[in-house]
Structure 1
């Protein structure tokens, strides 16, 4: 009787655990982080904190060469001070952040004398996509392209 009960309990555990194991193996990839090499960590940290308005999060290295930011619930932006030359890709390769108000963001850019343009490169211009989302482009202190849009 004890053997039947034990086997029944084990069978129940296996039946309960199988979907969890299957889920763990079929979980879709999630963005964990994006890492950017930067020449001047303090300058880039200030830019992403004050202009883009990302919040810093603890980083494990504590070596003065890393700043980590939260960009989503489980996603981060890692800035890493690096001495080698930085190769900046074309505008089509960019980070994109959505904001509540393009107009408020433009005020922050203008207050800080940061140039911006639309996709075509027209200074101080905003593109409106066919879906109605407004977007602009700017570059961080190392020249990386950033899109800012008001996508909900």
Structure 2
């Protein structure tokens, strides 16, 4: 048996608060989703003014990052380089904005964000994760 790190409720609250604060400080209306390592949602918040489509995109980006164990941008880049076969993979969030949460080399969850430019979505996700002070 081995010991496994997991996100606690307090961890999720810290990530969500920091991500929301970063988005609000920049005036970015987004949806933020936090996942566990199995791709199950632990938190979802849609900030005022965020589009309805941002909910589905944040869910997809975050789940892709959790299950793929890497940033969703990795898949966006592969597809942009012509490897369109990845479009048939059983994940759907192939745009930047899904960021895994890594503790001691292990993915313990992810943050998915959607609503502004993809690089800004990822910036918000990273700001949330940074609150854990890993």
TM-score (norm 1): 0.23
Q: Please identify which structure carries the higher strand content.
A: 1
RCO higher in structure (CA 8 A, sep ≥6): 2
